[in-house]
Amino acid sequence: MEFHHLPVLLNECLDALAVRPGGTYLDCTLGGGGHSSEILKRLDGGRLFGIDRDAEAIAAASARLSGLNPGAEFVAVHGNFHDARALLAARGVDRLDGVLIDLGVSSHQLDERSRGFSYHDDAPLDMRMDASQPLSAREIVNEWSEDELTRVLRDYGEEKWARQIARVICDRRPIETTSQLVDVIDAAIPKKLRAKDGSHPARRTFQALRIAVNDELDPLAPALRDLVSLLVPGGRIAVIAFHSLEDRIVKNCFRDLADPCTCPKNLPVCVCGRKPVLRLLTRKPVTASDAELAENPRARSAMLRAGEKLEGGTWLDARGWDKVKGS
Ligand SMILES: C[S@@+](CC[C@H](N)C(=O)[O-])C[C@H]1O[C@@H](n2cnc3c(N)ncnc32)[C@H](O)[C@@H]1O
């Protein structure tokens, strides 16, 4: 199947990154290379690293980007961007001028039936972005306890019928395919009480399972902090989220980096002396224009936030204590 994915908020990302021709850039979620190809075209003497945990994305993007700009270097890296620091260090890189993260799955992954991401198709339960990892949706659905399933559906899908769905899943095991899972969800949610917004009853369960299979949320905030710490002063980070759980993590992380002051709010001046690490370039998330939505309806839930690294900021650890000054 040919790799198909339209990059979302492309111009908005390029504006936020303000690519420096000689700079070193990291696309944490290479996908089909849509964003990366435009970054690469803007480089002259610079370097672009593109990470993806999906070997199919690495192959497709490499074919598209190799040789696109002979005046710049492009390096594709198969791996998880949560490990970006180590992946880059292994290639002799410890400073970046810009970072892009376009979270979630690609259209290719959704449309490739055998990957099991879509509730519209019948396929084996899988949902792994990295086909070499052992944990798939099949294990979670068939082996995790009712309590664990309830937690996943509630915390990663904000599914109000989490307990009922988990119970019916446990009753109807084994469940091998996406269609069987859709039938189970259909049986668990009372027809009269379903959301009236026209959304598919399986949407939240599939989102939750995908997040659990790929461990998408818990490592995100530490990874964002690590990536910002790799930026040179003036370097930029742009992150696209696709649902409120992701966006909340990005928003809170950026806010903490932009405003590390721990003084009581009623003090007229700051006495803690902690300095911001990041300047917010977006107060509110940037969303797709009507023109983009007409061309690409999948952009409807995209939310872009961006920031610029400041010099001499104060890093705080999870407890709010000074960690590294000015890194
Ligand atoms: C929305 S697509 C990116 C599309 C890309 N920006 C483009 O224009 O073609 C997200 C991609 O990120 C990858 N991905 C998601 N989470 C990842 C992670 N933690 N580490 C590495 N790749 C990840 C997925 O496999 C998928 O290929």
Query: For residue range 15-63, what is the model confidence (pLDDT) as tens digits?
Result: 999 999 999 999 999 999 999 999 999 999 999 999 999 999 999 999 9
Mean of the per-residue pLDDT values of the chain: 94
- Alpha carbon 133 to chain centroid, angstroms: 18
Domains defined for the chain, CATH in brackets: 10-104+219-325 (3.40.50.150), 129-214 (1.10.150.170)
| 327 pLDDT above the threshold of 50 | no
Q: Output the pLDDT for position 320.
A: 61
Q: What number of other Cβ atoms are within 10 A of residue 55's Cβ? A: 13
Q: How far is the CA of 57 from the centre of ligand 1 (A)?
A: 8
What's the alpha-carbon Rg for the chain, to the nearest Å?
Answer: 21
Residue 105 phi, psi dihedral angles, 5° rounding? -105, 160
Residue 197: pLDDT band (50, 70, 90) is confident
Residue 325: pLDDT band (50, 70, 90) is very low
Q: Output the pLDDT for position 321.
A: 62
Share of the chain above pLDDT 90, in %: 88
Q: Which residues contact 64 (CB under 8 A, 6 or more apart)?
A: 32, 33, 37
**CA dihedral sign, ordered 261, 86, 222, 7:** positive
Phi-psi region of 94 (alpha: psi -120 to 50; beta: other; left: phi over 0): alpha
Mean pLDDT of 110-116: 92
Residue that is written with structure tokens 């190799």 in the block? 66
Which atom, in ligand 1's list, is nearest to the CA of 106? 2
Mean pLDDT of 285-297: 97
Residues 84/24, Cβ–Cβ less than 8 Å: no
148-152, 221-225, 268-272: which has the minimum mean pLDDT? Answer: 268-272
| 74 pLDDT above the threshold of 90 | yes
Pocket test for ligand 1, best of 36, 100, 106 (most atoms within 8 A of CB): 106
159 HSE (CA, 13 A, CB side): 28
Q: How far is the CA of 301 from the centre of ligand 1 (A)?
A: 16
Mean pLDDT of 253-276: 92
| 193 pLDDT above the threshold of 80 | no
Cα dihedral: 12, 282, 248, 20 (round 10):
60
Residue that is written with structure tokens 């504006």 in the block? 15
| 326 pLDDT above the threshold of 70 | no
Mean pLDDT of 124-153: 98
Q: How far is the CA of 29 from the centre of ligand 1 (A)?
A: 3
* Residue type present at position 13: C
Pairing mode of beta strands 322-325, 314-316? antiparallel
Of 142, 174, 149, 179, the C-alpha closest to 164 is: 149
Residue-wise pLDDT for 266-285, tens only, equals: 999 999 889 999 999 999 99
Share of the chain above pLDDT 70, in %: 96
Residue 199: pLDDT band (50, 70, 90) is confident
Q: Which amino acids bring their CB within 6 angstroms of ligand 1?
A: 5, 7, 29, 31-35, 51-54, 57, 80-82, 102, 104-106, 129
Residue 323: pLDDT band (50, 70, 90) is low
Of 318, 234, 241, the C-alpha closest to 279 is: 234
Of 87, 75, 8, 79, the C-alpha closest to 43 is: 75
Which atom, in ligand 1's list, is nearest to the CA of 82? 19
Mean pLDDT of 158-168: 97
Cα(146)–Cα(282) distance, integer angstroms: 41
Q: Output the pLDDT for position 217.
A: 97
**CA dihedral sign, ordered 68, 72, 78, 83:** negative
Question: What is the CA angle 280-283-286, rounded to 5?
Answer: 105
Query: Whose C-alpha lies nearest to ligand 1, atom 18?
Result: 80
Q: Output the pLDDT for position 265.
A: 87
Q: Output the pLDDT for position 123.
A: 96
Q: Output the pLDDT for position 1.
A: 59
Determine the angle formed by the axes of helices 55-65 and 34-41, rounding to 10 degrees.
30
Residue that is written with structure tokens 């790929």 in the block? 214
Q: Output the pLDDT for position 58.
A: 97
Q: Output the pLDDT for position 109.
A: 93
Cα(309)–Cα(278) distance, integer angstroms: 5
Residue 262: pLDDT band (50, 70, 90) is confident
